[in-house]
Structure 1
């Protein structure tokens, strides 16, 4: 098969870079905020503040947009491969990502060398989604799109399904479709499956289908029109279904103590697993952003695009840098070795942490520190395209 001409879609890099930068805010907040970090829910309307709520809410856009763009990129990379080559690549990369989640990311988050706690999050979901896509790419593109839509539109019908507690069927249903967080005790290891697989796979399959709009032969003006239509339709579906307040999210909204908190209740949708309404309110604006930024230029665009071209490198490095900051902060706050907590997260004192202003400063510093390494790795990838292993990073 003669490879197609390689053409970079800069709006994809820009959007991916933007969400990677925003994503780091959520993880910095998890580790450094003394209120609403890992110990509590920043979207709990009984305890949150508007600024804390939106600090968390804006990061809701990251995981679904990243899965969506992974699907788009999978389609585009497949244009340079045969079906067999693409299927094999997706399968191997999916397995590689599962390894990364378990051994590299879990260690960075828990900093626990015996892996007594394993956290399976977005990289786990992407890995399994690629494995599923490796099988499905043999089907016609419209069929893949329909499967993706059905997963996103219909998985909420299973929210109330209850199987025998502790059964294999119950575990499989929760891991694949319904769990907001499913814990498994296995040989002195606690495994927390935070991302139910198939709802996220549906998002990747939709992205893979929409990736066909980025074929070199596709008219750019028509692509923009279609993307705008899809994005607006997703937001309209969100408003209609959320107003009806019956289907699309397990958590219904309600009137709160004032108009602002009522609005927060209205947009407070479920990420674990990603509900239909969660997908609509996050993917709708992201797809509109793609449509409107295809010709975007400027210094900020160039900076964000650097992060977007090396998302895997950025993702792994940012967790280890956060962990380094945690250790430094731990000792700066006056804690000693006797205060280190080993289960499940080390160097996180119960009374430690900072206010949101400091959290934002740490986040900006983290992103700035990572810029030069990301730019270096981006240039290395561009200058060493012949190295096969770079396609896995």
Structure 2
């Protein structure tokens, strides 16, 4: 098997696209006037544009996790199994530390860390540690275990599970969390937004798919990606159409055709349901197929962010929240308003914000601000790839 020595452009393009779209949701959460008071996916109160703004970002986290698994698989082609396992443990622990120390501060701007927030980077980090354990046991377990987690975890919606105690806490942290708060003291706590194991399943499938990039030629891989992605999307349509298993929120006929379609695709992210995963990963596989060998200015633009996703991801929170602070004072808020009543994000009062078009303008500004730094770091990373620490950024 030949080692993979070059970056895969289609992967960088797709990852760059989801990184850019991901920023839209974070800008919306901080800047849209109803972000703290209204569910943008509630078809009874939302507008089609607001719904789409939130819904399109559903593709970001699963594709990000999937490509993290794919990247780990590509790394494993250059190392022994034991070396890969050790690297994944260290990488996973590093990601969890960054999530709790750096990203939590970027989100909250709270130097006292009254709330530690566990979201997608935490899920990726712990999933890497789980992946390392499977590598030590048997690589043959990785794909079946991943598929079992994806297809089976929705069974918990039909089972009687613990409602209190350590069993309830572990179940929520690993399987069902969608905003699970664990109070530690009267003023401190842990907020789990991402239940780990459903995301682990997505990473394991991504890891397994890396074999296609080391054993298949260009045309065969492109066909496999296209056919598999199409089959996964067809599976989504069938399961969602049956409306009995695969998502805790069934779709329903709405007052018009557009809202009925929106109800059909309004799948559950927390935790990622089977419907959610098949919709997003099926789409990802098709995009990977269509972008195989593509060379264009827009593709090059997207790949800039895709080559350095972690370098882009961490600072973008600080830029967004820093802009919030500026607009906070420009809008006449004072020091007494810094700590909001109903959310953990300092300088973000519940009633603060702007209309959706301002949100889009700020989003484009944030993305463009990071373009030149990402270009620089991509070049720096390529020139200094032999340095051990560069693999952690």
TM-score, L = length of structure 1: 0.96
Secondary structure, counterpart of 1:138 in structure 2: helix
Q: Distance in 1 between matches of 2:176 and 2:296?
A: 43
Aligned to 1:18: 17
RMSD: 1.4
Shift of 1:369: 0.4
Aligned to 2:354: 354
Report 1:240-319 matches (<5 A): 240-319=238-317
Aligned to 2:58: 60
Aligned to 1:83: 81
Q: CA separation of 1:161/1:39 partners in 2, compared to 1, >3 Å: closer, same or farther? A: farther
Aligned to 2:372: 372
Aligned to 2:119: 121
Aligned to 1:9: 8
Q: Distance in 2 between matches of 1:5 and 1:271?
A: 33
Q: How many matched pairs?
A: 390
Q: CA separation of 1:336/1:120 partners in 2, compared to 1, >3 Å: closer, same or farther? A: same
Aligned to 1:166: 164
Q: Distance in 2 between matches of 1:5 and 1:125?
A: 26
Shift of 1:139: 4.7
Q: Deviations over 1:43-97 (max 9, x none)?
A: 0112111000000111000000011101110010111111111100000110111
Q: Distance in 2 between matches of 1:10 and 1:60?
A: 23
Query: Contact conserved, 1:22 with 1:62, CA < 8 A, in 2?
Result: yes
Secondary structure, counterpart of 1:294 in structure 2: coil
Shift of 1:105: 0.6
Query: Contact conserved, 1:142 with 1:209, CA < 8 A, in 2?
Result: no
- Structure 2: gaps of 5 or more residues: none
For the pair 1:51 / 2:49, whether they are aligned, the reply is yes
Aligned to 1:210: 209
Secondary structure, counterpart of 2:136 in structure 1: coil
TM-score, L = length of structure 2: 0.96
Q: Distance in 2 between matches of 1:247 and 1:61?
A: 21
Q: 1:177 aligns with which of 175, 178, 201?
A: 175
Q: Distance in 1 between matches of 2:344 and 2:112?
A: 11
